[in-house]
Amino acid sequence: MSKERIKAALAFGKERTEKGDKPAGNIIPVPAGSTKNKKRLGRGIGSKTGKTGGRGSKGQYARNTVRRGFEGGQMPIHRRLPKRGFTSIFHKDFFPINLRDIEKSGLTGNIDAKIMVESKILDKESSLFKILGTGEITKAVHIVADGFSASAKEKIEKAGGSIKLRSELASKEA
């Protein structure tokens, strides 16, 4: 590093040198007053933060910490409010793939999860994905997916392609 660069970096904040012009670790300057020392508690009555150390006198807060959400024995708010809804154990999250993504990647012919992973449209082969109808498709493509929207199905068939569900293919192979 050049001495000019070091001097320019040191000009912004407090001086950060050790023995001459050699930089002390990080070359990026630290502005004056940006770092503060932590509050040192319990260091005698002359320090203003001695004896009780900013915790007041006696009581639960002075002696130990109180767990989050504790309201002093009162029924806490998370138990006073009613529970709403439920989470279905059969719910499946589908990764959405639009027709514009397929068109943009230039995929043609037979398209399945493996090809989509190779073209980086999909993360993993095992993930469930649904083809949605946003965008247009100009080439005839034959797509195997876990789901299709009505508009996507219509656009693919209009372009001369076909669709198949992965679950139907798996049941035929078994």
Residue 114 domain-assigned (yes or no): yes
Task: Provide the residue type at 124 as one letter.
Answer: K
Q: Which residues contact 136 (CB under 8 A, 6 or more apart)?
A: 99, 100, 103, 155
Burial of 99 (0-12, 13-18, 19+ CB in 10 A): buried
Residue 67 domain-assigned (yes or no): no
pLDDT given for residue 171 in this prediction = 81
pLDDT given for residue 128 in this prediction = 93
> Are 156 and 139 contacting, i.e. CB atoms less than 8 angstroms apart?
no
Residue 148 domain-assigned (yes or no): yes
| Domain enclosing residue 130, as ranges | 95-167
* Model confidence pLDDT, tens digit, residues 140-171: 999 999 999 999 999 999 999 999 999 888 88
Q: How far apart are CA 163 and CA 161, in angstroms?
A: 7
Residue 161 domain-assigned (yes or no): yes
Residue 81 domain-assigned (yes or no): no
Q: How far apart are CA 50 and CA 65, in angstroms?
A: 19
pLDDT given for residue 1 in this prediction = 55
* Model confidence pLDDT, tens digit, residues 2-13: 677 677 776 665
Count up the domains in the chain and report the number: 1
> Are 31 and 24 contacting, i.e. CB atoms less than 8 angstroms apart?
no
Residue 116 domain-assigned (yes or no): yes
Residue 16 domain-assigned (yes or no): no
Please give the helix or strand (H or E) that residue 114 lies within, else none. helix 113-118
Q: Provide the sign of the torsion angle of the four alpha carbons 129, 133, 135, 141, taken in this order.
A: positive
pLDDT given for residue 12 in this prediction = 63
* Residue 119: CATH number of its domain: 3.100.10.10
Residue 78 domain-assigned (yes or no): no
